[in-house]
Structure 1
């Protein structure tokens, strides 16, 4: 995979992960999340881990889309034809 293909996967995934994080944490307070009655994380740590979790999930989704494309010629760095 070229650098162009990697950016086609990671950049949209980054933006969507940010939107998902904003939506989720508009409704969920990280300090109220408990595991077996114990609050395991501080607020900032929970935000960061959740964002990276969402980013990984959306990156996998974007990667699957790129891998299923029938014509992958636009992924090369030579003279893109959009």
Structure 2
């Protein structure tokens, strides 16, 4: 995989992770979250874990998109683009 392909995967997923974190944590207070019923992580830890979770999910989506995209103009012409 080339370096510019890596940026096509990581940059959009970074932006979507930021947006998803903003939306989720605007609706959910991290202090109200209890893991296994009694573990209450600090706010910053939950913010970071949530961001990296959303970033990994979005990066996986972008990675699958780049693998499914046509590799050259001949393949794109066969699809109808």
| Fold agreement, TM-score > 0.5 | yes
Contact 1:32 1:39 in 2 (8 A): no
1:15 corresponds to: 15
Alpha-carbon RMSD: 1.4
Contact 1:30 1:43 in 2 (8 A): yes
Question: TM-score of the superposition, structure 2-length normalised?
Answer: 0.84
Distance 1:9 1:66, change over 3 A: same
Distance 1:37 1:65 in 2: 37
**Greater share of helix residues, 1 or 2?**
2
Runs of 4+ displaced beyond 6 Å = none
Kindly indicate whether structure 1 or structure 2 has the higher relative contact order, using CA contacts under 8 Å at least 6 residues apart: 1
Question: TM-score of the superposition, structure 1-length normalised?
Answer: 0.83
TM-fit CA distance, 1:40: 2.9
Provide, for residues 44-73 of structure 1, a one-character-per-residue CA deviation record: whole Å limited to 9, x for no partner: 000001100000000000000000011258
The secondary structure found in structure 1 opposite 2:6 is helix
Distance 1:4 1:31, change over 3 A: same
Q: Where do 5+ consecutive residues of structure 2 fail to align?
A: 74-81
